[in-house]
Amino acid sequence: MKLHTYYRSSASYRVRIALGLKQLNAEQAYTHLTRNGGEQFGAGFDALNPQHLLPVLEEDGLTLNQSLAIIEYLDETRPASPLLPADAAGRERVRALSQAIACEIHPLNNLRVLKYLSETLKVTPEQKNAWYRHWVKLGLDALEATLARDAETGRFCHGDMPTMADCCLIPQLYNARRFECDLSGYPTILRIEEACAGLPAFAAARPEAQPDAE
Amino acid sequence: MKLHTYYRSSASYRVRIALGLKQLNAEQAYTHLTRNGGEQFGAGFDALNPQHLLPVLEEDGLTLNQSLAIIEYLDETRPASPLLPADAAGRERVRALSQAIACEIHPLNNLRVLKYLSETLKVTPEQKNAWYRHWVKLGLDALEATLARDAETGRFCHGDMPTMADCCLIPQLYNARRFECDLSGYPTILRIEEACAGLPAFAAARPEAQPDAE
């Protein structure tokens, strides 16, 4: 199993956490997202993923992309340490929490969007940072409200074991801190973050802990 | 079962198609996304979904959000006319194709993002349209390359029966046409669109066919 990753790619970070939680080993291959205009646009990468996005997981003759789809695949093919609950309602909730991050926050703040804002729309650095923080705040406000309200929230986003939702939450918080977003209004989220930080899988997946970290 | 929907919400459109393909009936409740500053920001809606996003599906005492999570829930609880394949690799592919739209194209082009561009960043209508078409082109270029290349592509995105990926593709194409995106470079996508157009579930879910259409 080979994971194409970049230390700061938060979609890769999600899959690194999932691999760790499931105690699976994957060889890592590094794609530098900013060097030489982005190695993900190189000829070799195009065959792996025409979307030019990380992560990509090669395994068993398959070339898999999209982080949440990869995590579900790992969960279906290696049922030990499940990352989704057994009941349909719980699965819906974990997927919805994951998508509240992966569809509503992260797509607006990834590298290519920030580049378009700066290079094409010529926004100022202040406007770019305000954009970033606007979408993080909107998304985390809603997530905090949901997590604080729902009886299903436990030590982690869903119950007392980490799920795919936690795999999405922690990289999003890492990004939010990089852009100095104010997280003080999110006590439930911060409590869950602390619970995750205590687990080796989350610690090992951190960007700073990766061999390609700069 | 009650679906909170808006005729032009493409995430609602995805779920409308899925309900039709699975021959399920849901009462519809209409939330107007632009009237009175957006009915999704009203007090009543907040209790349904603190994300202030459509669709929301109420069923069996549950309040479900996020379109792809809802579709998977419907598929798990009503197995007839499956919208995901039976094999893990096929499921990964259908989820990844769905997410290539739901995480990479649509989030950049929805109403609240276009409003931020116009009202906060004060971009011109031409810059807003160029933004829209830029992300549609990037996403559909990659999707066309994937669909044209993969042996798994059939009459529909995955094989010869419609899946969740087709539920995502058709609303995205509807949006692309509204913004006059050039779709001529996507023969595989257009062929799949034609196959979908022949099915009653896709026809019935079209925005123009909804009771709340204007």
pLDDT value for B89: 98
- Quick: pLDDT tens for B89-107: 999 999 999 999 999 999 9
**Across the 214 residues of chain B, what is the mean pLDDT of every consecutive 10-residue run?**
95 98 96 83 84 93 96 97 98 98 95 95 96 97 97 98 98 96 97 98 97 93
What whole-number distance in Å separates Cα of residue A37 and Cα of residue B154? 35
Is A69 close to B131, i.e. CB distance below 8 A? no
What's the alpha-carbon Rg for chain B, to the nearest Å? 17
In the prediction, which pLDDT does B213 show?
A: 94
Scanning B21-50 for CB atoms below 8 A from A yields 50
**Which candidate, A118, A111, A114, places its Cα nearest to that of A33?**
A111
Inform me whether the C-beta atom of residue B95 falls under 8 Å from chain A C-beta atoms: yes
Mind giving me the DSSP string for chain B? -EEEE-TT-HHHHHHHHHHHHTT---EEEE--SSGGG-GGGSHHHHHH-TT--S-EEEETTEEEESHHHHHHHHHHH--SS-SS-SSHHHHHHHHHHHHHHHTTTHHHHSHHHHHIIIIIS---HHHHHHHHHHHHHHHHHHHHHHHHH-TTB-SSSSBTS--HHHHHHHHHHHHHHHTT---TT-HHHHHHHHHHHTSHHHHHHSGGGSTT--
- Considering only CA atoms, which of A116, A118, A98 is closest in space to residue A171? A98
Q: Give pLDDT, residue A54.
A: 92
Q: Which of A76, A98, A127 lies nearest to residue B121, judging by beta carbons?
A: A127
Flag whether residue A70 sits within 8 Å of chain B, measured between CB atoms.
Answer: yes
Q: What does the DSSP 8-state code read for residue A179? A: T
Do A68 and A96 form a contact (C-beta atoms < 8 A)?
no
pLDDT at A137: 97
What stretches in chain A show pLDDT beneath 50? none
Strand partners, B159: B153
Spatial separation of the C-alpha atoms in residues B55 and B10, rounded to whole Å: 9
Partner residue facing B69 (CB), from A52, A95, A112: A95
Cβ-contact B14, B168 below 8 angstroms = yes
CA dist., res. B43 & res. B45, Å (int): 5
Q: Which of B52, B69, B121 faces A96 most closely, judged by CB atoms?
A: B69
Asked if A141 is an interface residue toward chain B (Cβ–Cβ < 8 A), one would say yes
Which residue has 């920001």 as its token pair? B41
Q: Which of A65, A104, A145 sits opposite B96 (nearest CB)?
A: A65
Number of CB atoms found within 10 A of residue B112's CB: 18
B106: closest chain A residue by CA:
A103
Q: Is B69 on the interface with A (CB under 8 A)?
A: yes
Q: Which residue of A has its CA nearest to B145?
A: A50
Per CB-CB distance under 8 Å, the chain B contacts of A142 are 50-52
Contact B108, A108 (CB under 8 A): yes
Q: Domains of chain B, with CATH numbers?
A: 2-81 (3.40.30.10), 88-202 (1.20.1050.10)
The answer to whether the CB of B140 falls within 8 A of the CB of B174 is no
- Which tokens belong to A185? 């209004």
pLDDT at position A46, please?
83
Specify the pLDDT at position B45: 84
Q: What's the ipTM?
A: 0.97
Q: How distant is the Cα of B15 from the closest Cα of chain A, in angstroms?
A: 14
Q: What is the dihedral of CA B107, B116, B6, B64, to 10 degrees?
A: 50
**Binary contact (B69, A92; C-beta < 8 A):** yes
> Does residue B134 sit at the A interface (CB-CB below 8 Å)?
yes
- Residue B48's pLDDT is 87
Which pLDDT score is estimated for A212? 93
Q: What is the pLDDT of residues B69-80, one digit of tens each?
A: 999 999 999 999
